[in-house]
């Protein structure tokens, strides 16, 4: 395992196993003090919001959670939160390294996609970025939000700017408080739906699985999902950092395991079988995948200490197309996507 991959894997263990220590995601008590006006906590039945009340200061209030549907704007609103600026939540006790409590997501665009200049931060205390470009011009940036209690979240960019939402998955508890789902990777399906892949420890000690959920077209697209039955990949060991792609009618799924890269293929995007990796990648571990117009896949991967190497190919094999595309201050783990106009966008991490 490379130094970059080992560092991110160690952070993922902290995210999954320590996220509930010291700062939990339990439902707040109505009327109790809260720190940031506008912050929300959503449970199965209630939406708790931090409000400023006359004579009381900032306290928690609640209202019934709307019945979730694929086109329920009210439900989307209940998941919204303001962009995190600075350190709003302390790191877990004893945590070291540059976890999402200490990093910002930065966005940069490029004409050719072979190099990116320094970009602009869109949110703090966030990690594991993954970007997806939609046909209507919107850009989705998936990530793990430490400030929102270490949960998967998405930033949606349209003509009005950025809006941020906690993800909601019906049929699967993605944020129990101590073993949250993390490392999101999103894929656009032919019917306009979005399938999200993530890793989360299961009941077996020392093992995690790759799960998925699908979001149907509508106003909740990319924010509200319905869990797909079972796990997409279970190798009987800890799996981290899934990278999924559906390009040219072919499914690809990579995951990081101890000392090796796991690769799997599927005919339907739900039932994956571990397979030999396509030729040409060697020891590369993909962080991100995006489709090219000709149906091939472009990967952003780590090779040794090079955390931003690019490869292009398909199940028949991949070829390197150059050295790292990451700006000088970028940390390992980044997401890349091709925009509708042919330009490229890179979401990467920087130290706060």
On whether the CB atoms of residues 262 and 239 are closer than 8 A, the answer is: yes
143, part of any domain? yes
End-to-end CA, the chain: 26
Q: What is the pLDDT of residue 79?
A: 92
On whether the CB atoms of residues 88 and 147 are closer than 8 A, the answer is: yes
On whether the CB atoms of residues 220 and 76 are closer than 8 A, the answer is: yes
CATH of the domain at 215: 2.115.10.20
CA atoms lying within 13 Å on the CB side of residue 63: 10
Q: What is the pLDDT of residue 263?
A: 97
Please give the residue range of the domain that contains residue 347: 3-23+96-351
On whether the CB atoms of residues 343 and 306 are closer than 8 A, the answer is: no
19, part of any domain? yes
Strand order in the sheet with 103-110: 120-124, 103-110, 344-351, 331-338
Q: What is the pLDDT of residue 179?
A: 83
On whether the CB atoms of residues 180 and 193 are closer than 8 A, the answer is: no
Q: What is the pLDDT of residue 25?
A: 41
60, part of any domain? no
Per DSSP, the three-state class of 204 is coil
The structural domain count of the chain equals: 1
The pLDDT averaged over each successive group of 10 residues in the chain (352 residues) is 52 48 57 85 72 89 64 71 94 85 97 94 97 96 96 95 94 85 96 96 84 92 94 94 97 93 96 96 94 96 88 97 91 94 97 94
61, part of any domain? no
On whether the CB atoms of residues 111 and 151 are closer than 8 A, the answer is: no
CB-CB neighbours of 254 under 10 Å? 25
282, part of any domain? yes
On whether the CB atoms of residues 234 and 91 are closer than 8 A, the answer is: no
CA atoms lying within 13 Å on the CB side of residue 48: 18
Residue 135, burial from CB neighbour count under 10 angstroms (0-12, 13-18, 19+): exposed
Q: What is the pLDDT of residue 214?
A: 96
Q: What is the pLDDT of residue 65?
A: 61
Q: What is the pLDDT of residue 39?
A: 78
55, part of any domain? no
- Find the radius of gyration of the CA atoms of the chain: 19
236, part of any domain? yes
CB-CB neighbours of 245 under 10 Å? 22
Element (H, E) at 224: strand 224-227
């Amino acid at each position: 395992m490379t130094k970059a991959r080992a560092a991110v894997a160690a952070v993922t263990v902290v995210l999954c196993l320590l996220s509930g220590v010291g700062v939990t995601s339990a439902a707040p008590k109505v009327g109790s003090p809260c720190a940031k006006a506008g912050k929300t906590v959503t449970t199965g039945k209630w939406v708790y919001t931090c409000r400023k009340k006359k004579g009381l200061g900032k306290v928690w209030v609640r209202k019934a959670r709307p019945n979730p549907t694929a086109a329920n704007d009210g439900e989307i609103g209940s998941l919204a939160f303001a962009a995190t600026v600075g350190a709003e939540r302390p790191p877990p006790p004893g945590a070291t390294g540059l976890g999402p409590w200490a990093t910002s997501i930065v966005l940069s665009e490029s004409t050719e996609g072979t190099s990116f200049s320094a970009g602009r931060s869109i949110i703090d205390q966030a990690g594991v970025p993954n970007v997806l470009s939609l046909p209507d011009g919107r850009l989705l940036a998936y990530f793990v939000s430490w400030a929102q209690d270490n949960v998967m979240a998405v930033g949606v960019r349209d003509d009005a700017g950025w809006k941020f939402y906690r993800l909601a998955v019906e049929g699967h508890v993605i944020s129990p408080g101590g073993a949250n789902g993390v490392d999101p990777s999103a894929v656009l399906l032919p019917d306009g739906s979005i399938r999200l892949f993530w890793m989360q420890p299961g009941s077996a000690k020392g093992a995690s699985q790759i799960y998925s959920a699908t979001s149907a077209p509508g106003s909740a697209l990319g924010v509200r999902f319905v869990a797909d039955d079972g796990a997409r990949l279970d190798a009987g060991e800890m799996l981290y950092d899934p990278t999924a792609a559906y390009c040219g009618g072919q499914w690809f799924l990579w995951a990081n395991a101890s000392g090796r890269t796991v690769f799997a293929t599927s005919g339907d995007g739900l039932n994956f079988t571990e397979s030999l990796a396509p030729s040409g990648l060697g020891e590369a571990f993909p962080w991100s995948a995006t489709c090219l117009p000709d149906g091939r896949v472009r990967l952003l991967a780590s090779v040794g200490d090079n955390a931003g190497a690019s490869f292009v190919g398909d199940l028949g094999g991949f070829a390197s197309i150059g050295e790292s595309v990451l700006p000088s201050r970028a940390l390992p783990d980044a997401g890349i996507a091709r925009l509708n106009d042919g330009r490229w966008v890179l979401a990467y991490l920087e130290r706060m």
